[in-house]
Amino acid sequence: MEKTLVDKIWKAHKVHEVEGAEVIYIDQQFLHEVTSPQAFDGLRNRGRDVFRKHKNLATADHNVPTINQHLPISEPLSRKQVKTLNENCAEFGVELFGLGHEKQGIVHVIGPELGYTKPGMTIVCGDSHTSTHGAFGAIAFGIGTSQVEQVLATQCLVLRKPKNMRITVDGTLQKGVFAKDVILYIISKLGTGGATGHFVEYAGSTIRNLSMEARMTVCNMSIEMGARGGLIAPDDITIDYVKDHFSGDPAVLPEAVQFWRSLTSDPGAVFDTEYHFDAADIEPMVTYGTNPGMGMKVTEAIPNTADAKPLSYMGLNNGDSLLGKKIQHVFIGSCTNSRIEDLRLVADFVKGKRKSDDVQVMIIPGSKRVEKQAREEGLDRIFEDAGFQLREPGCSACLGMNEDKIPSGEYCVSTSNRNFEGRQGPGARTILASPLTAAAAAINGKIVDIRKEL
């Protein structure tokens, strides 16, 4: 019988079956400081060691400051959590790229760039945006801390196979429309719970034409429509990227490439749910509410059917347009949009321009490597001339957990992934958008249609 790519990878990792659930082997686990301490405690309480140390990799990202990372973290609880990660990794022999390490960064940025993420793998992390790694044709998904402990102890999880969904996008994107707009558009059509219970395969010519970094942006936000994860079948673009970042024995590469090329859904494979979208219908997107499903084309007005509670939180009304809306902050960063291509796009646009005096702009590179590369390419000087602050890597203002927060009642155009109430700090009002829409908002002090600025 014809199989989907998810079915194939799933089957290749099945260890055991129990009462309709399956025991699935996990090839790679990523760890960070927030969702791992209780898992390591669990191991200690049971007197267990980490089962496969080399299949686990840790970094510090959620709690870290994004300036003066060489100094001790000033907030005591954050400092303790990062210290606990260091101690746990040392005690259990888990590799750690901690604060200050040249390979440190947001967990979903460093996995691919350091060659850990490869096609056909099963990948987990105590973080819902683990779906990012699906861009390589991997089954990658977020888990809770109890499951982090299970993977540490056995490299396995007890799971029920999700349903299959395929989302096909065909055609050429308009100038000024990016991967972030594609995924915000899809989420606005399906809604914040529209893919719950499913694993999504993204397909179609639009997806095929995206770079690996753009594909990561798409897969990253799969969870924002409730999907367990999202993936894209490997092709030449994937294989070129993986070969460039490969850290294993080069002698196995030819065989590996052959295997990676085999990772596709069979032509007749049946998906439980299918959606088709036309790239020509996609415009630059913005969100207006308090979940990522509440998004619209930047030229549209807030629907009259939108709920009162989220609009009241956002200080917006039914029928409002966001074009011309004054904003106070721009955040360019997060596991969704903090890679070198994002920074290059922004730099290319802002070169020779200057931000509005009314706007604060933070650019947070996804990793030390991205930061280094940006500086080597001279992007830091372009940002500085524009009044944008290039800081050090971390999750930053994506989640209001570290020092980078948006003040209550103020608007932030953010390239991150969630506009939940309080996500960027209590009372903060988040408008999700692409890096270029965010950069244009910084220059103009208000939301504009980026297509008119290019």
Give me 89's structure tokens.
Answer: 């990794």
For residue 391, the Cα-to-chain-centroid distance in whole angstroms is 19
Both tokens assigned to 159:
């799971």
Beta carbons within 10 angstroms of residue 69's beta carbon: 17
Q: Which is nearer to other proteins, 111 or 176 (CB)?
A: 111
Find the shortest distance in angstroms from Cβ 394 to other proteins.
Answer: 13
- Phi/psi for 268 (5° steps) reads -95, 10
Of 4 and 63, CB closest to other proteins? 63
Could you tell me the smallest distance in angstroms from the CB atom of residue 386 to other proteins?
29
**DSSP structural state of residue 321:** B
Q: Taking the complex as a whole, how short is the minimal distance between the CB of residue 30 and other proteins, in angstroms?
A: 12
Q: How far is the CB of 305 from other proteins (least distance, A)?
A: 13
Beta strands, E only, 144-208: 156-159, 163-170, 198-203
Cα–Cα distance measured from residue 136 to residue 149, given in angstroms and rounded to the nearest whole number: 25
Please choose, from the candidates 433, 443, 446, the residue with its C-alpha nearest in 3D space to the C-alpha of residue 180. Answer: 433
Task: Show the tokens assigned to 388.
Answer: 């944008």
Structure tokens at 252: 């196995």
The DSSP bridge partners found for residue 329 are 360, 412
**Residue closer to other proteins (CB basis): 23 or 114:** 23
Q: Are strands 329-332 and 411-414 parallel, antiparallel or unpaired?
A: parallel
Pick between residue 29 and residue 356 the one whose CB is nearest to other proteins: 29
CB-wise, 307 or 384, nearer to other proteins?
307
Residue with tokens 């558009």: 185
Nearest CB to other proteins, comparing residues 142 and 230: 142
Q: Which is nearer to other proteins, 100 or 426 (CB)?
A: 426
Considering beta carbons, is residue 208 or 243 the nearer one to other proteins? 243
Of 124 and 169, CB closest to other proteins: 124
Minimum Å distance from CB 206 to other proteins?
Answer: 26
**Least distance in Å: CB of 355 to other proteins?**
27
Task: Return the number of the residue (27 or 201) whose C-beta is nearest other proteins.
Answer: 27
Backbone angles phi, psi at 437, to 5 degrees: -65, -35
DSSP state of 327: -
CB of 245 to other proteins, least distance (A): 13
Kindly state the smallest distance separating residue 315's Cβ from other proteins, in Å: 16
Q: How far is 342 from 347, CA to CA, in rounded Å?
A: 9
Most distant CA pair in the chain, distance: 63
Using the CB atoms, write b or e for 294-318: b if 16+ within 10 Å. bbbbbebebeeebeeebbebbebee
In whole angstroms, the minimum distance from the beta carbon of 139 to other proteins comes to 14
The minimum distance between CB 14 and other proteins, in angstroms, equals 8
Strands annotated E in 85-175: 95-97, 122-125, 139-142, 156-159, 163-170
